[in-house]
Amino acid sequence: MGIEPGRLHFSWISSAESTKFVDVVNDVTAGVKALGPNKTFLKTEAKVA
């Protein structure tokens, strides 16, 4: 619908894989930070009359 692919991420992480979890979270946050704030799917004050 016009959301950049890098904003959404799915992973399988077992409860035993703590380091994988940390790595994935770091990667995803870095990726999203690189994209910058979402400027489209964002509601500011309602755009009405």
Instruction: Note the residues at the interface with another protein (CB under 8 A).
Output: 1-5, 9-12, 40-49
Distance between CA 37 and CA 33 in Å, rounded?
7
CB of 18 to another protein, least distance (A): 18
Distance between CA 40 and CA 42 in Å, rounded?
5
The smaller minimum CB distance to another protein, of residues 33 and 47, is found at 47
What token pair was written down for 39?
């400027």
The smaller minimum CB distance to another protein, of residues 4 and 18, is found at 4
CB contact at 8 A, 13 and 24: yes
CB of 3 to another protein, least distance (A): 6
